[in-house]
């Protein structure tokens, strides 16, 4: 850890120990936020962190993703003609989809939406499933589950202590 901090943060940061005090607060706030969002969405904190990273790479943020997932759950989780029709239009079996965990549901929808060739139809499908925020998520959804999972793998690498310290100190 010390080597990573020395090579990354110390030459850049002039705040010294004050930066490390703020760093601890950032870790606690981030952990608390992820825990809260995990309880709201039913998606684990590590997966939410990865979704937040993928969203940030695509011009969004974790709040946008969790808002969209919450809307998705409200619109599609309960069987209804409208919800079943929306899922069927994407080639997804409503009965099977509802048995999946929320992350897998999101990834299945991302796959289905990413395969729509017509940009207007793709935007309409995203809005139909995720509400108005669906259009903003298109850069993320267009990656499909494979692209989102690559971001998740990259996030795991970045969550080593060295990387976390560097990232938080550099964001200051």
Angle at alpha carbon of residue 167, lines to 11 and 103, rounded to 5°: 170
Under the banding of pLDDT at 50, 70 and 90, the label for residue 160 is: low
- Position 116 pLDDT exceeds 90: yes
Contact by Cβ (8 Å): 153, 159 = no
- pLDDT of 20: 43
pLDDT 10s digits, 76-113: 988 899 999 999 999 999 999 999 999 999 999 999 99
Q: What is the spatial distance between Cα 39 and Cα 34, in angstroms, rounded to a whole number? A: 9
Under the banding of pLDDT at 50, 70 and 90, the label for residue 126 is: very high
- Position 12 pLDDT exceeds 90: no
* Residue 7 tokens, joined: 């090579």
More confident residue, 13 or 23: 13
Q: In the predicted model, what is the mean pLDDT of the chain? A: 79
Under the banding of pLDDT at 50, 70 and 90, the label for residue 29 is: very low
**DSSP label at residue 75:** H
* Residue 109 tokens, joined: 């929808």
Q: Any idea which residue has 């997966």 for tokens?
A: 47
- pLDDT of 165: 60
pLDDT 10s digits, 133-151: 899 999 999 999 998 888 7
pTM above 0.75, yes or no: no
* Residue 75 tokens, joined: 């619109």
């Amino acid at each position: 850890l010390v080597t990573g901090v020395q090579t990354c943060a110390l030459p850049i940061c002039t705040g010294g120990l004050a930066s490390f005090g703020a760093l601890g607060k950032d870790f606690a706030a981030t952990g608390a936020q992820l825990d809260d969002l995990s309880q709201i969405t039913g998606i684990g904190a590590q997966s939410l962190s990865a979704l937040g990273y993928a969203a940030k790479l695509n011009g969004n943020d974790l709040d946008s993703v969790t808002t969209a997932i919450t809307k998705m759950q409200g619109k599609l989780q309960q069987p209804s003609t409208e919800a079943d029709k929306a899922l069927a239009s994407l080639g997804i079996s409503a009965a099977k989809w509802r048995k999946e965990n929320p992350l897998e549901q999101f990834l299945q929808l991302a796959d289905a939406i990413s395969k729509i060739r017509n940009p207007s139809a793709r935007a309409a499908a995203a809005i139909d499933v995720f509400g108005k925020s669906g259009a903003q998520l298109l850069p993320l959804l267009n990656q499909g589950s494979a692209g989102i999972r690559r971001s998740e793998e990259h996030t795991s690498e970045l969550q080593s202590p060295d990387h976390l310290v560097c990232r938080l100190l550099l964001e200051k």
